């Protein structure tokens, strides 16, 4: 079959990453986590003393770090300026700063171009996950999926992930939910390519579904396109 391009968008905690990786693995496709790219650029800014709350400073530094994304769904690492950023991009500092950095148009232009290049070069096809893939990055994708879930389900999943990541005590659920809603509101209200469902995207509400059920649903939708 011809290489298939799949766009998976949605807010945080809807299972985008787990779903995208499992779908790519099941179908032998490449995988691109665009959120990891925004996080890697943010991490680079924080470690190089760029004031992430100063859009002009962020714009001026946008081209400095070379971001290289692994596209193997089994081990999608990422480097910024040759330094492995796979672990550090998941810290709370990066999570708290990423929405401000990703709202800067120069940052978006830079990463959008990189994302399109990676998608075109994926010979076996690719699953690309993010916030603006179906609307802006790959408007001609073969399949667009928009994942949603209730705020409660999203916060519960996210707090489970945080706990799994560092083995620490369960973070406060109300605090996790508040931080997550704040990030979604920032991502949805920015001027340049906000988080938005594309008109031709299929919405999948994952609130009552297991990961396996969501993966099966998306795999079926892709097979119908191939
Ligand atoms: O998916 P993840 O939660 O890792 O994304 C981190 C942040 O990166 C999002 O909150 C958003 O600010 C930004 N992002 C974006 N556009 C994308 C992917 C992520 O603005 N396509």
Model confidence over 176-200: pLDDT tens digits?
889 899 999 999 999 999 999 999 9
Mean pLDDT on 97-125 = 97
Q: What is the model's pTM?
A: 0.94
DSSP 3-state of 173: helix
User: Hey, whose CA ends up nearest to atom 14 of ligand 1?
Assistant: 35
DSSP 3-state of 165: helix
- 17 labelled ligand-binding: yes
Rounded CA gap, 5 and 183, in Å? 27
Rounded CA gap, 69 and 59, in Å? 21
35: CA distance to ligand 1 center in Å?
A: 4
Question: Closest ligand 1 atom to the C-alpha of 9?
Answer: 21
Q: Within 6 Å (CB) of ligand 1, which residues are found?
A: 12, 34-35, 38-39, 98-99, 102, 130-133, 183, 187
- 3 labelled ligand-binding: no
Residues 13 and 154 sit within 8 Å (Cβ to Cβ): yes
Checking if the pLDDT of 62 tops 70, the result is yes
- Kindly indicate whether the ipTM for this predicted assembly is greater than 0.95, answering yes or no: yes
- Which of 1-5, 126-130, 161-165 comes out lowest in average pLDDT? 161-165
Q: Which two tokens stand for residue 30?
A: 């490449």
> Where do the DSSP E strands lie in the chain?
4-9, 30-33, 67-69, 78-80, 83-84, 125-130, 143-148, 202-205
Residues 113 and 89 sit within 8 Å (Cβ to Cβ): no
Pocket test for ligand 1, best of 97, 109, 187 (most atoms within 8 A of CB): 187
1: CA distance to ligand 1 center in Å?
A: 31
Q: Which residues of 35-50 are buried (b: 16+ CB within 10 A; e: fewer)?
A: bbbbbbbbbbbbbeeb
Tens-place pLDDT, residues 8-49: 999 999 999 999 999 999 999 999 999 999 999 999 999 999
């Amino acid at each position: 079959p011809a290489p298939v391009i799949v766009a998976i968008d949605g807010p945080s905690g809807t299972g985008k990453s787990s779903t995208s990786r499992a779908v790519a693995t099941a179908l032998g496709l490449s995988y691109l986590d665009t959120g990891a790219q925004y996080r890697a650029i943010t991490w680079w800014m924080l470690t190089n003393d760029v004031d992430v709350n100063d859009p002009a400073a962020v714009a001026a530094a946008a081209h400095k770090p070379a971001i290289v994304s692994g596209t193997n769904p089994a081990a999608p690492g990422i480097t910024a300026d040759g330094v492995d950023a796979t672990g550090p991009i998941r810290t709370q500092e990066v999570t708290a700063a990423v929405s401000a950095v990703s709202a800067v148009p120069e940052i978006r232009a830079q990463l959008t171009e990189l994302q399109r290049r990676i998608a075109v070069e994926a010979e076996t096809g690719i699953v690309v996950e993010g916030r603006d893939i179906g609307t802006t990055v790959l408007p001609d994708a073969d399949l667009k999926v928009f994942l949603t879930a209730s705020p409660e389900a999203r916060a519960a999943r996210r707090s489970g992930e945080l706990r799994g990541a560092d083995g620490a005590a369960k973070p406060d659920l109300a605090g996790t939910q508040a931080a997550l809603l704040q990030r979604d509101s920032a991502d949805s209200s920015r001027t340049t390519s906000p988080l938005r469902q594309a008109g031709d995207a299929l919405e999948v509400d994952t609130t009552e579904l297991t990961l396996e059920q969501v993966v099966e649903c998306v795999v079926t939708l892709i097979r119908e396109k191939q």
